């Protein structure tokens, strides 16, 4: 069995926020494969079904971000899962909006949700998909930024990012994590690079150079995932503080 973990904070208050892109990806998988996220156990919201002919469990931990490992550890222990059969999907403010970074293993890179999972599993050797939500807007507090919703300009980019993350999970299941990395570690919205002006000019000039990486051709567009919760949340949301790396 493969287990797909999407990280986020539970409750309608946080649905659709940058920090919940992992939840949204799991919801998109559930919608596509008609898997109902209805079982509440192992400190998570869980649905079981089949993807690419293989049995899977979709999980949205309900512990808040920093304690995500409690849910993952309980599932791994109960089913005696090997770490390579668990994939974790989370946000990353160090990646351009919509960009995926897929790894077979690695450190937490400053992401507290991943850090807690590593602590509970006792290993870094599990696959993960980081989805870029862009750098914090100047003047914003980090918590306010990741707990805010995407701008209208970013919404279509993130719909494509969710679609690509769904494709990456499918490829991980049908092929392997290396193939998923080769196909989906792309940058759909490269930031322009600034180049120094030629010294021949008296006034310094700055020119914009586009990154040469190209996004993969989009397939059928998925509707934006909508997380569905009915319980009220009274706890303080947990915010991770990602750093460069992993």
Cα torsion angle, 91, 92, 93, 95, sign:
negative
Q: Is the entire prediction scored with pTM above 0.75?
A: yes
Structure-token match 């990806």, residue found: 25
Q: How high is the pLDDT of residue 200?
A: 41
Q: How high is the pLDDT of residue 139?
A: 80
26-39: per-residue pLDDT in tens?
A: 999 999 999 999 99
pLDDT band at 217 (very low <50, low <70, confident <90, very high): very low
Cα torsion angle, 102, 104, 107, 111, sign:
positive
59-93: per-residue pLDDT in tens?
A: 999 999 999 999 999 999 999 999 999 999 999 98
Output 198 or 192, whichever has higher pLDDT: 192
Q: How high is the pLDDT of residue 110?
A: 80
Q: How high is the pLDDT of residue 212?
A: 37
pLDDT at 225 over 70: no
pLDDT at 205 over 60: no
Output 42 or 147, whichever has higher pLDDT: 42
Domain ranges of the chain: 2-209
pLDDT band at 220 (very low <50, low <70, confident <90, very high): very low
pLDDT band at 121 (very low <50, low <70, confident <90, very high): very high
Q: How high is the pLDDT of residue 140?
A: 83
Distance between CA atoms of residues 9 and 119, nearest Å: 19
Residue positions annotated with a catalytic role: 19
In this prediction, residues 41-50 reach a mean pLDDT of: 98
Q: How high is the pLDDT of residue 229?
A: 40
Burial 132-150, CB ≥16 within 10 A → b, else e? bbbeeeeeeeebebbbeeb
Lowest mean pLDDT among 9-13, 231-235, 238-242: 231-235
- Which homologous superfamily does the CATH classification assign to the domain defined by 2-209? Peptidyl-tRNA hydrolase (3.40.50.1470)
Output 144 or 80, whichever has higher pLDDT: 80
């Amino acid at each position: 069995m493969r287990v797909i973990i999407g990280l986020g904070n539970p409750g309608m208050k946080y649905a659709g926020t940058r920090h919940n892109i992992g939840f949204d990806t799991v919801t998109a998988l559930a919608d596509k494969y008609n898997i109902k996220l209805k079982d509440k156990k192992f400190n998570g919201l869980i649905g079981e079904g089949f993807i690419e002919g293989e049995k899977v469990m979709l999980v949205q931990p309900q512990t808040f971000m920093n304690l995500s490992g409690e849910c993952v550890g309980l599932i791994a222990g109960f089913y005696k899962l090997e770490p390579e059969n668990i994939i974790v999907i989370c946000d990353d403010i160090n990646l351009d909006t919509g960009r995926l970074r897929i790894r077979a293993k690695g450190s937490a890179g400053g992401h507290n949700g991943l850090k807690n999972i590593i602590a509970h599993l006792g290993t870094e050797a599990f696959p993960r998909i980081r989805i870029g939500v862009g750098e914090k807007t100047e003047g914003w507090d980090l918590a306010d930024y990741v707990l805010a919703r995407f701008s209208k300009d970013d919404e279509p980019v993130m719909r494509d990012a969710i679609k690509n993350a769904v494709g990456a999970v499918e490829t991980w299941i049908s092929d392997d994590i290396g193939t998923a990395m080769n196909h989906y570690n792309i940058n759909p919205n490269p930031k322009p690079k600034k180049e120094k002006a030629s010294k021949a000019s008296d006034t310094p000039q700055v020119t914009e150079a586009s990154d040469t990486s190209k996004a993969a051709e989009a397939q059928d567009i998925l509707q934006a995932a909508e997380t569905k919760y009915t319980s009220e949340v009274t706890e303080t949301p947990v915010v991770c503080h990602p750093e460069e790396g992993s």
